[in-house]
Every structure is written in C-alpha cells, then in structure tokens.
Amino acid sequence: MIKNLTDKLTVDETNHEYLMKNYQEGGRFRLFSGVFFGKMGAMTKANWVMLLFCIPAVAAIFYTLYLETQYSILTPFSSNYGVGYPVVNNAEATYAEAIFRNNMFRALLLVPCMVIAFIGLAGAFNVIKYESLGKDVKVMRTFFKGIKNNFVTYMWIGLVNGIMLFLFMLSVNFYGNPNLHLALKIVTIFLNSLVFAFVLVMSFYVMSQAALYDMPLIKMIKNAFWFTISFALQNFFILIFSLVPVGLLLVMGTSYFLQILVIMVCAMLGISYIVCVWTIYCHYVYGVAFTACIEKGQNKGKKSKRARRNG
C-alpha cells in the first residue's frame, strides 16, 4: 500500500522533518491520552473559542426549529371538520410542505455557517498540532495565528462540506416524498451518506496537512484523496471513534439531567476531542507515508522557503 502511495504524494520535506524530529514516542492511544487528558485546560479553552465560530450555525438551527414549532401551532388541522376556520384543503399536506421548505431553508442557512465554523477549526488544529508535538502553547495566540495562516484553505473546505450537508439533507427530506419509490429513496440516502463521509475524511486530511505543511491546496487535496482511499478501513474506524460527541448528542435520551450533562461535556471538549483524534491519527499516517516517499526520493514538492510556523 505504502509502496504504491510514494509515486502519488507531494511532500513538504522541511516541515515533515520538523514533524518527525518533534514527534513524541509511544503508541497513538497513549499519545492521544497524554494530549487530550493531560492538556485538559488547553483542550477546554480551544473548544470554548471554537464555539464562538459555531454560534451562527447554532442560531440557524434554533431559528428553524422555532419556525417548525410555529408551523405545527398555526396549521389549521381542524379546518376540514365542523366549523374549522380558515378552510384549508388537505391541511396535513400543507404542513408537510411547510416543514420540507423549512428543512431546506435550514440546509441553505447552514452552508455559510459551516464556512464560518471551519475557519475556527484552523485555530483548533493549530493549537492541537503543537500540543501533540509537546510544545508550550499559549492557546489564544496560537489559535488566532492558525486562523491567520490558514483561513482561506479552511474556508474552502467548509464551503464544500456545507454543500455536501445540503445535498445529504435534501436526500433525507425527499424520503417523505410519496411519489418516489422506497428503493430509490434508500439508495439516494445511502449514496449521499457515503459521499458525505468520504468528503469529510478527505477534509480532515486536508485540514491537518494545512496546519503542518506548506503546500498548495490542490496538492493537499490530491494527497488527501489517496490517503482516504488507501487507508479506507482505518479511516472508517477513526471516523466513528472521532464522532462520539455527535453520537452522544443524537442519542442522549429524554432525561433532562443526562441531556444537560452531555451538552456541557460536548460544549467543553467535543470539538477538541474530534480535532485531537484526527491530528494524532493523521500525523501517524504522514509519518509512515511521507517518510517512505522521501526515502524513495520521489518527492515532487518543493521544500518550504520558510520553516513556517514551526519555530
């Protein structure tokens, strides 16, 4: 697998040398535990700052949920019976159409919100990159330095993921369309889920490369594509492992105490946890693949003219 990859990858040799020189010894889980649990204060602070960039997305979700509640209150379900007023033909279909429009409105609103949130991820990846390399980190300074250096790359990645989320939500909403065959609905949702997951994994590779290496975006995307294909099984398990906070939010049950507890934990550490998992995993992949590429002498990239950000 690695042998085939060495002919396809582009390497920033200078910064890769920096990664290998500063990489901490030990297994991946040990390193993850040391960074995430050993640097809990930095993880929490980075997470809280990152949440500021998520405010537009949270506001969009709550606003559309409010609209959905209003539709359920104002739709005259009794208008077809007795003296119901105003008279609305097929009130349930009218309500379903309003909910569909609202869901699509939410999906559209989330596209620019995702762009803003992903810009914040530039800071989170920069902080956790240095933490994983055992450096002394001033969280606020390092966070905003990461945004300054990489906001354009993360902005484009956020736009792509926002569009993918829109397409996924579109396929889910069409599930309620009675004119579509059930098999077509299931296949559409499955394919959209698969493509969304593929793009999401690629995005994590691009973002972790952008935080560490100095390469054009198109070359990072190319590298990410090959990493996503070549390490498909490992990527799948890491994706599941990294999305534990999202899973907890989706299945936290009806207990108010449990809901508050899960929301508090995710608000304090959820995003940092995801970024930490992918940073350490991607560094491991780069350590194996890029080192093999350099040793084989197949480096197609240029050395960075500046030991950028890695001093």
Give me the pLDDT at residue 301, please.
46
Question: Average pLDDT of 89-115?
Answer: 81
CA 184 to chain centroid, in Å, comes to: 28
Closest CA to 128 of 213, 46, 51: 46
Q: Residues with Cβ < 8 Å from 305, sequence gap 6 or more?
A: none
Least confident of 81-85, 174-178, 213-217: 81-85
Do 89 and 80 contact (CB within 8 A), yes or no? yes
Tell whether the model's pLDDT for residue 222 goes beyond 50. yes
pLDDT of residue 88: 54
What is the C-alpha to C-alpha distance for residues 27 and 4, in angstroms, rounded to an integer? 25
- pLDDT tens digits, one per residue of 244-267: 988 888 777 667 778 788 888 888
Higher pLDDT, 248 or 151: 151
Q: Provide the pLDDT for residue 87.
A: 52
Closest CA to 128 of 271, 290, 244, 311: 271
pTM of the model: 0.85
pLDDT band at residue 299 using 50, 70 and 90 as cut-offs:
very low
Query: Once rounded to an integer, what is the mean pLDDT over residues 151-175?
Result: 89
Is the CB of residue 164 less than 8 Å from the CB of residue 70?
no
CB 111 within 8 A of CB 105: no
Percent of the chain surpassing pLDDT 90 = 51
Q: Using alpha carbons, select from 263, 245, 275 the residue that is nearest to residue 123.
A: 275
The answer to whether the Cα torsion of 168, 170, 171, 175 is positive or negative is: positive
